[in-house]
Chains A and B, each alone.
Chain A
Amino acid sequence: NAGVTQTPKFQVLKTGQSMTLQCAQDMNHEYMSWYRQDPGMGLRLIHYSVGAGITDQGEVPNGYNVSRSTTEDFPLRLLSAAPSQTSVYFCASSYRARHQPQHFGDGTRLSIL
């Protein structure tokens, strides 16, 4: 049982480049979310989805896009990377929005030069 799988684990980008962070879960969870973790800032919600075809913005959505075409996958897109988006990104899922716990992936460490 893989749980929540994030790829890649590490990535270095140049300013202005685009990329997609992948997230997949095999637990048939309806709720999926993306967080960014910065030193001294904790975890901040970027976007979330309560089911296939439904997405919404979290606390810090600017510069990021998401889509949810299937229950299993929830990719996060950076359209034009900026140094301020250097961070560790975590994807999480739970059975429903109000169900706990949220299961987290091991993160993608992204550096933007």
Chain B
Amino acid sequence: QQQVKQSPQSLIVQKGGISIINCAYENTAFDYFPWYQQFPGKGPALLIAIRPDVSEKKEGRFTISFNKSAKQFSLHIMDSQPGDSATYFCAARIVGGGSQGNLIFGKGTKLSVKP
């Protein structure tokens, strides 16, 4: 069973602080690692994504760090704001085989940013 393990389950950060969410995978047959953001009552929406040939990708306050040898990747939210309060999911896209293109999701991290 291909898995993506995400931690922590929940995270409380003060406004202006750094939020860090970690994910690890157990199978090398992944070729794309997106992060999705979900607000209550809404569907997930793509936040930022990275490919395994890149070690870091930054978009505004959001950065993905990727460690291919350790099979780990993480999301850093700099200068966290109350509007960032949401549930974040990491995911990995399957490459090859009948399930090619399907995403495997982590279990999610509920982030609360306190003003």
Indicate the size class of the contact surface on chain A: 20 to 34
Q: Is B14 an interface residue (CB 8 A)?
A: no
Mind listing 13 A-B residue pairs with CB under 8 Å? Answer: A35-B105, A41-B107, A42-B107, A42-B108, A43-B44, A50-B101, A96-B101, A98-B93, A101-B34, A104-B44, A106-B42, A106-B43, A107-B42
Whether A40 contacts B9 in the complex (CB less than 8 A), given A97-B102, A100-B32, A100-B93, comes out as yes
> Which are the 9 A-B pairs with shortest beta-carbon distances?
A97-B101, A104-B43, A101-B46, A42-B107, A43-B105, A98-B101, A42-B105, A106-B43, A104-B44
For the A-B complex, the count of residue pairs with Cβ-Cβ distances under 8 Å equals 56
Whether A33 contacts B102 in the complex (CB less than 8 A), given A42-B107, A100-B32, A101-B49, comes out as yes
Q: What is A's interface to B at a CB cutoff of 8 Å?
A: 4, 31, 33, 35, 40-45, 48, 50, 56, 58, 90, 92, 96-98, 100-102, 104-107
| Additional A-B contact list (7), CB under 8 Å, known A105-B43, A107-B43 | A4-B43, A41-B107, A42-B89, A43-B103, A96-B101, A97-B101, A106-B43
Q: Is B100 an interface residue (CB 8 A)?
A: yes
Q: How far does the alpha carbon of A97 sit from the alpha carbon of B43 in the complex, in Å?
A: 19
Q: How far does the alpha carbon of A92 sit from the alpha carbon of B100 in the complex, in Å?
A: 16
Q: Is B98 an interface residue (CB 8 A)?
A: yes
Min CB distance A3 to B, Å, is 9
Nearest to B101 among chain A residues (CB) is A97
